[in-house]
Structure 1
Amino acid sequence: MQLLKSLARAAGTLALMFTGGCASADADPQVAAAPANHGPALWKLADEDTTIYLFGTVHALPSDVNWYDGHIAAAFEESDELVTEIAMDDQLALTQALTGSAMLADGQNLREMMTPEDRKEYEQAMIDLGLPPGALDPVEPWYAAMNLSVLPLMQAGIDPAAGVDMALTRAGASKRKDALETLEEQVALFDDMPISAQLTFLDATVEAVPEAAKSLRELIDLWVVGDAVGLAAKMNEGLEDPALYQRLLIDRNANWAGWIEHRLAEPGTVFIAVGAGHLAGDGSVQDQLAKRGYKVERVH
């Protein structure tokens, strides 16, 4: 069950990235400045004509969290390219692709797939969140879990529009953009799970709803002071299944390291912003780069 609760947190993070489209078109493109000598962790690697910064993000924040400190601002502003996990500019296309993948086949109904006990708990969670119990009946369990992960955060004032990925995308409007993965690849992490696993995942998410906002605020507290090790441990706790850990973290980190190695062959300064859990702990992006012979340094 602890493993599935960790999956629920992961789904919430993924959903918060997609729902970044909630930001209005005229949202302030600036990011708030943090106090001097204070802020999240930043790393870099470089060769003779290329510098690549690695910055771990949180995909949704309370609007009053200040994180854009001196060394982060300097690295971002000198970079001519912004790279995120998935392309962030066309939020409408992201939302349409996500919901298109999430729909059940005709004649299927989410609540009819549940056991009576799980259905009762699910319906009560929906009511507690101010939703009709049948609001998500047409969607697959993994997508219902994503929604139930996100809604309590938004209701607690943790805003996708204030998330780091969206803030950097707005602030870097004139920069070249690239992405490490496609939307389809990220959705497949959840959509490819068997329905039975998705239903167990949804039930675990329902149980995690009351603590969702508190859990994310604990992560934010670690992130904003640059405690990368503590943050990764908190984000990844419960991923005890070796196959799942390999799928969600290690394989992706290895793929991203390959992307970075390839990008080093081209000149320029690149700012890569990915979920903070990928940049600390065993098997991190930095570990994968070290295996390829590259040295990554923390920027203070």
Structure 2
Amino acid sequence: MRFLTWIFVFLSGFVFGQSNSLLYQVKSKDKKVSYLFGTIHMIPDSLYYFPGKLDKIISKSDEVILEIANLSNQSSVMKLMLLDSGSCFDIFTPQQKDSVLNWGANLLGIKPDQFEKGFEKRKPFTLLQLSFQKMISGKVRMVDMEIESKAQQNKIPVSGLETVEYQLSIFDKIPPGELAGFIMETVRNPQEGEENFQKMVHYYHQQDLESLANLILESDELGSSAEELLDKRNHNWIPKMEELMKAKSCFFAVGAGHLGGSNGVIELLRKRGYEVTPVRY
């Protein structure tokens, strides 16, 4: 599985080792109830599914908590994707750079020198993001933004478990050589990344968690980044979630890849004494 697909998992995620649902009821010892939902960042409109039951749960919540709030504020995000100095293509050898420029130019239907000029001030991981966005044709739905919009329509407060600054800083910690390797793999094997992406979208739509788990576990490419991308963040979220659930009925919506496994949010909440059960919707 390509690192491009792992970016998809990181921002939108999947569950492994859990029952066949993306929605969970979280009940504390004093019987206060909140909900935990696994999201997908981007999905074709034809596969978008947001039933009335899920909408009703959100409307009855005291607060909606996403990984990052105010997702519609794209201007601040774009600034964080720019380099302070140097070029996006400094991490590549001359031969690799030529391949990347031709690949990017072909994706966008422009000349290589135009592609270089347009991306030279952006951080290298945005090259992967570009390829991912090109995999979806037609109208796209962003589940996180849909949830935020529904909360706002019901005048429900929306907050985030972390900042976009922190989330994007994780990519800055990936050694340049490793990142260059991930990008070159995508450049050389675009079809494999696209096939995996289509499988993941299909499995998410079907809530086929076992197949999602197998697809994710086929790859060890996340390597040393796994702890920073998933485990560490999961542990950081638990005390924040507990504090919020003390006084409110919350609806948490995070990338579903954060939910499962021994260091996933579901298991960490259970270890803290919460009753976490799947909900069909």
| Inter-partner Cα distance in structure 1 for 2:258 and 2:34 | 16
Give ranges in structure 2 of 5+ residues lacking alignment: 14-19
Equivalent residue, structure 2, for 1:259: 240
Residue identity opposite 1:231 in structure 2: L
Equivalent residue, structure 1, for 2:278: 298
Aligned pairs (5 A) from 1:44-55: 44-47=25-28, 48=30, 50-55=32-37
Higher RCO, Cα 8 Å, sep 6+: 2
Number of aligned residue pairs: 266
1:178 aligns with 2:159: yes
Same amino acid, percent of matched pairs = 25
Q: CA deviation at 1:181?
A: 0.9
Give ranges in structure 1 of 5+ residues lacking alignment: 18-38
Residue identity opposite 2:131 in structure 1: L
| Inter-partner Cα distance in structure 2 for 1:97 and 1:239 | 31
| Inter-partner Cα distance in structure 1 for 2:139 and 2:185 | 21
> Normalised by the size of structure 2, how large is the TM-score?
0.82
1:164 aligns with 2:143: yes
Q: CA deviation at 1:49?
A: 6.3
| Inter-partner Cα distance in structure 2 for 1:16 and 1:291 | 24
Q: 1:236 to 1:54 in 2, by over 3 A?
A: farther
> 8 Å contact 1:109–1:138 — kept in the other structure?
yes
Q: CA deviation at 1:65?
A: 1.8
User: Of 128, 134, 137, which aligns to 1:145?
Assistant: 128
Give the secondary-structure state (helix, strand or coil) at the position aligned to 1:64: helix
> 8 Å contact 1:86–1:181 — kept in the other structure?
yes
Q: CA deviation at 1:246?
A: 1.5
| Inter-partner Cα distance in structure 1 for 2:252 and 2:12 | 18
Q: CA deviation at 1:289?
A: 1.2
Equivalent residue, structure 1, for 2:104: 126
Residue identity opposite 2:278 in structure 1: R
> Normalised by the size of structure 1, how large is the TM-score?
0.78
Aligned pairs (5 A) from 1:1-300: 5-6=2-3, 8-12=4-8, 41-47=22-28, 48=30, 50-99=32-81, 102-105=82-85, 108-129=86-107, 130-133=109-112, 134=116, 135-150=118-133, 152-154=134-136, 156-157=137-138, 159=140, 162-173=141-152, 174-235=155-216, 237-239=218-220, 243-266=224-247, 268-300=248-280
Q: CA RMSD in A?
A: 2.7
Give the secondary-structure state (helix, strand or coil) at the position aligned to 1:264: helix
> 8 Å contact 2:12–2:256 — kept in the other structure?
no
| Inter-partner Cα distance in structure 1 for 2:111 and 2:267 | 46
Residue identity opposite 2:270 in structure 1: A
Residue identity opposite 2:65 in structure 1: V
Q: CA deviation at 1:179?
A: 0.6
| Inter-partner Cα distance in structure 2 for 1:240 and 1:283 | 19
| Inter-partner Cα distance in structure 1 for 2:241 and 2:11 | 25
Give the secondary-structure state (helix, strand or coil) at the position aligned to 1:54: strand
Q: CA deviation at 1:213?
A: 3.8
Give the secondary-structure state (helix, strand or coil) at the position aligned to 1:59: coil
> 8 Å contact 2:186–2:193 — kept in the other structure?
no
